[in-house]
Amino acid sequence: MNKCAISSMVALLLMMSAIPIIAGTLDEVKKRGTLACGVSTGLPGFSATDEKGHWKGLDVDGCRAIAAAIFGDASKVKYAPLNAKERFTALQSGEIDVLVRGTTWTKHRDTALGLNFAGVNYYDGQGFMVSKKLGIKSAKELDGAIFCIHAGTTSELNLADYFAKNSMKYQAIVFDTHDQAAKGFEAGRCDCLTADQSQLYALRTHLSKPYDSVILKDIISKEPLGPVVRQGDDAWFNVVRWSFFAMLNADELGVTSANVDAMRKRSVNPAIRRLVGLDGDKGQSLGLPDDWSYQIIKQVGNYAESFRRNVGRGSSLKIERGLNALWKDGGLQYAPPMR
Amino acid sequence: MERRGASVCSAYALTVMSRSEAITKWWNQGRNRVLLFQVLLILGTVLFFFLIGANALSNLEKQGITSGFSFLSQKAGFGIIQTLISYDESSTYGRTFLVGLLNTILISVLGIICATVLGFLVGIARLSTNWLIAKLAAIYIEIFRNLPLLLQVFFWYFAVLRSLPLPRNSLQMGDWFFLNIRGIYIPRPVPEQGFVLLGIIFLLSIAGVCALKIWARKHQEKTGIELPTLRTSLAIVIIPSTITWFATGGPLHWELSSLQGFNFKGGLTVIPELAALLLALTVYTSSLIAEIVRSGILSVNHAQTEAARALGLPQRKILRLVIIPQALRVMIPQMTSQYLNLVKNSSLATAIGYPDLVSVFAGTSLNQTGQAIEIIAMTMAVYLTINLTISWLMNRYNARTLLQEQ
């Protein structure tokens, strides 16, 4: 049996004895002293380790924000690298507390799998990467092509839908991890690598000649990616969801890791005073310390900072904010008010 | 406390013993007692699994996870690159299961055949009196037996794949064979009218050859004269089939592959994932089988060889008639384990994208439906069934070789 089958079976056994894990994840995490956070096995910009072995990325910042809110220390996270096939079992069985791993919010996952999506930290869509030599401009020219895909993702289903809709034929070779799929593409086993567009940009940085490949303009699906928790634990769901909303609200109010201390001392804006934990009910309703959101902004930063540092202009991916701009700038990112 | 407990125990044992001297209670009779413990063990096991199952179900329900086997009739909606039965994106998860199962059986059967043949050759070469051949076989065994199988799978897949050309620059032999990074393309036989007749004639001639062999053996047992049957057999197989072939006007044509658009279409394709996995499994398992063959042959007393030589048998016949039948007794149980390992190891397919059961069913299907318990249980049941079947067949074969010896 391979690694995945073994871990699935271990997870199964865990699931069978999982009664105490279901309720009270927040208490459980506090008692344990670390947050168990499921991330990808390595996707630059979203969750990957740097040369020193520290986890970095937009998804990793999601984990760090939750840890900062609970413990006042963003480093109290135990990362569990998971491939797409393992991720839900790991969450369902209680091996991890939260999954922040570019997971698409779909009806089936939200309902039948016993999961809840706590928000959307990245609005994405499925795209295609092909070799520049082929001279292809549009996805419609891909009839008869072979695709490399990462197993167990929505990409597999979207691809089938798209080709059926356009009465075209395709073949798919399905790999266990992003990395293997990219290797297959680089070796020339397939004509096209397909995944969420952000992932294509990330994987392209790993190719030996990144600029020999182009990412097509076509986007064939909507992929709202966000943090996931188990169904049936509302208190924990609130903590995860509002940790993310705190970063978005900070972005909207212009509070950054650099100016949060000054704002906390001087700001007269009531919204900012509530955000940094001076007014309002503070952390009580969430079961968190009063300075929970201050700690998130101070240690992790607001959404704009995290985006820029990991996937935007400050990173090697150079992805535009696009759909992920705030609602007031023409994007989709919108957080309910903090009051 | 302890001492008191112990003394109570020994007192009890004494009373039991003294009573059993008089009348043996039914639970103290040897056979009954064995039966009693076995029944208790079975009951305990059943209860254990029942509790686990009930607990798992109630937990699933509490977490709001759907369970049951109704997903098998739902539409799967994803493509698979190699299917032995008809399959497309509109097929069900049940069909996906069958596709994966057949792909697993295909790679296992091919792997077992190739590994056995290669393993025998290497094992015999290892014992060769030719120094070079023996050493080369030893090097082969030591290299492939000691490297982790997953590494070998990756090696054959990525290293070999990288050195192959793209479809437009395929290596080719005429219009018949093409080799490129996407696979090996060979002509596909398409049967036409009269093909069934040809098949029947061919099978009849094979039956004829079998009859001839049996008759020749009986003849030899009676008279001691060995009849040369090779030429007659060849004639029986070739002549009638050839006549039928021409009489029916060649009832078979070949569909060739050709480059259309991105890739080759038509003909038969052996995908590189299958080739790489088969190579890795064959090479790895054959290196283990080679050692089993060696141990089997060495276990046969050298006097047997000398006796056979004294009878004037040629070396090839000594091997075939004297040594291997006796060596098999040592080899078969070990070979069974290797076959079982090979079947289990075929699940490494998922690492390189060969669509076996673990990849398409316990992988993609599990992830799309989230029915972990049902799918993993079905997958485990499949491997268990395949392997129990292999064990059963091999044990029967083992029993037969044992009988022959006596």
- Buried/exposed code over B236-258 (b: 16+ C-beta within 10 A; e: otherwise): beeebbeebbeebeebeeeebbe
**What domains can be seen in chain A, in order of their start residue?**
135-221 (3.40.190.10)
**Inter-chain residue contact A191 with B262, CB threshold 8 Å:** yes
CA end-to-end span of chain B, whole Å? 61
**Which residue from A11, A22, A153 is facing B63, i.e. has the nearest CB?**
A22
pTM: 0.79
Q: Please give the single-letter amino acid code of residue A327.
A: W
**Inter-chain residue contact A4 with B362, CB threshold 8 Å:** yes
A6 pLDDT band, cuts 50/70/90, is: low
A50 vs A57: CA distance, rounded Å: 10
**Which residue from B56, B64, B351 is facing A15, i.e. has the nearest CB?**
B56
Asked whether B124 and B293 are in contact (CB, 8 A), the reply is yes
Mean pLDDT of A48-67: 95
A319 vs A298: CA distance, rounded Å: 24
Q: What pLDDT, on a 0 to 100 scale, did the predictor assign at position A324?
A: 96
**Inter-chain residue contact B351 with A2, CB threshold 8 Å:** yes
Angle A224-A229-A230 (CA atoms, 0-180°, nearest 5)? 130
Residue A195 Ramachandran class (φ > 0 left, ψ -120 to 50 alpha, else beta): beta
- Residue B344, chain A, CB below 8 Å: the answer is yes
**Inter-chain residue contact B367 with A189, CB threshold 8 Å:** no
Q: Please give the single-letter amino acid code of residue A178.
A: H
Closest residue of A to B89, CA-based? A160
DSSP assignment letter at A169: -
Please list every residue in chain A whose beta carbon sits closer than 8 Å to the beta carbon of residue B64. Answer: 111, 114, 231-232
Q: What pLDDT, on a 0 to 100 scale, did the predictor assign at position A13?
A: 56
**Inter-chain residue contact A172 with B81, CB threshold 8 Å:** yes
Element (H, E) at B189: strand B188-191
Q: What pLDDT, on a 0 to 100 scale, did the predictor assign at position A19?
A: 45
Nearest C-alpha of chain B: how many angstroms from A22?
7
Q: What pLDDT, on a 0 to 100 scale, did the predictor assign at position A4?
A: 55
Q: How far is CA B389 from each of CA B101, B104, B114, B289, B395, rounded to the nearest angstrom?
A: 15, 15, 19, 20, 10
Q: How far is CA B210 from each of CA A214, B109, B213, B265, B325, rounded to the nearest angstrom?
A: 63, 25, 5, 41, 21
Residue A59 has pLDDT above 90, yes or no: yes
Give the side-chain half-sphere CA count within 13 A for B342: 33
Q: How many residues does chain A have?
A: 339
**Of B78, B75, B58, B76, residue with least CA distance to B67:** B58
Please list every residue in chain A whose beta carbon sits closer than 8 Å to the beta carbon of residue B182. Answer: 146, 189
SS3 state of residue A46: coil
**Inter-chain residue contact A146 with B262, CB threshold 8 Å:** yes
Q: Which of A34-38, A251-255, B245-249, B301-305 has the lowest mean pLDDT?
A: B245-249
Q: Which of A38-42, A239-243, B56-60, B293-297 has the lowest mean pLDDT?
A: B56-60
**Which residue from A88, A146, A157 is facing B370, i.e. has the nearest CB?**
A88
> Which of A173-177, A186-190, A326-330, B49-53 ranks highest by mean pLDDT?
A326-330
Q: Which of A19-28, A216-225, A269-278 has the lowest mean pLDDT?
A: A19-28
Please list every residue in chain A whose beta carbon sits closer than 8 Å to the beta carbon of residue B358. Answer: 1-2, 4-5
- Residue A21, chain B, CB below 8 Å: the answer is no
DSSP structure string for B335-365: HHHHHHHHHHHGGGGGGTT---HHHIIIIII
- Buried/exposed code over A91-130 (b: 16+ C-beta within 10 A; e: otherwise): bbbbbbbbbbbbbbbeeebeebbbbbbbbbbbbbbbbbbb
Q: Please give the single-letter amino acid code of residue A78.
A: K
Mean pLDDT of A49-69: 95
Counting DSSP H helices and E strands in chain B, the numbers are 15, 8
**Which residue from B166, B260, B353 is facing A174, i.e. has the nearest CB?**
B353
**Positions of chain B with pLDDT under 50:** 1-3, 5-6, 405-406
Neighbours of A303 (CB within 10 A): 26
**Inter-chain residue contact B56 with A172, CB threshold 8 Å:** no
Residue A332 has pLDDT above 90, yes or no: yes
Q: What pLDDT, on a 0 to 100 scale, did the predictor assign at position A99?
A: 97
More confident residue, A76 or B55: A76
Mean pLDDT of A261-282: 90
Element (H, E) at B180: strand B177-180
Neighbours of B324 (CB within 10 A): 17
**Of B177, B169, B137, residue with least CA distance to B290:** B137
Nearest C-alpha of chain B: how many angstroms from A81?
17
- Residue B287, chain A, CB below 8 Å: the answer is no
A23 pLDDT band, cuts 50/70/90, is: low
Q: Please give the single-letter amino acid code of residue A252.
A: E
Q: Select from B78, B164, B181 the residue whose CB has the most chain A CBs within 10 Å, as the one to mutate to test that interface.
A: B78
Angle at which helices B272-299 and B93-126 pack, to 10 degrees?
40
Burial of residue B397 (number of CB atoms within 10 Å: 0-12, 13-18, 19+)? middle
Q: Which of residues 253-272 of A touch B (CB under 8 A)?
A: none
Q: Which of residues 75-94 of B touch A (CB under 8 A)?
A: 77-81, 89
Nearest C-alpha of chain B: how many angstroms from A215?
18
Beta bridge partners of B96: none
Nearest C-alpha of chain A: how many angstroms from B191?
26
Q: What pLDDT, on a 0 to 100 scale, did the predictor assign at position B17?
A: 52
Please list every residue in chain A whose beta carbon sits closer than 8 Å to the beta carbon of residue B56. Answer: 12, 15-16
Mean pLDDT of A36-49: 93
**Inter-chain residue contact B161 with A189, CB threshold 8 Å:** yes
Neighbours of B347 (CB within 10 A): 24
User: Which positions ≥6 away from A32 have C-beta within 8 Å?
Assistant: none
SS3 state of residue A41: coil
Beta strands in chain A (DSSP E): 35-40, 48-49, 55-56, 77-82, 98-99, 115-117, 122-124, 126-131, 145-150, 170-175, 192-196, 213-215, 223-225, 228-230
- Residue B350, chain A, CB below 8 Å: the answer is yes
Residue A145 Ramachandran class (φ > 0 left, ψ -120 to 50 alpha, else beta): beta
SS3 assignment for B72-133: HHCECCCCCCCCCCCCCCCCEHHHHHHHHHHHHHHHHHHHHHHHHHHHHHHHHHHCCCCHHH
Beta bridge partners of A171: A146
**Inter-chain residue contact A144 with B261, CB threshold 8 Å:** yes
Task: List the structure tokens of A13.
Answer: 């056994």
A112 pLDDT band, cuts 50/70/90, is: confident
Nearest C-alpha of chain A: how many angstroms from B180?
9
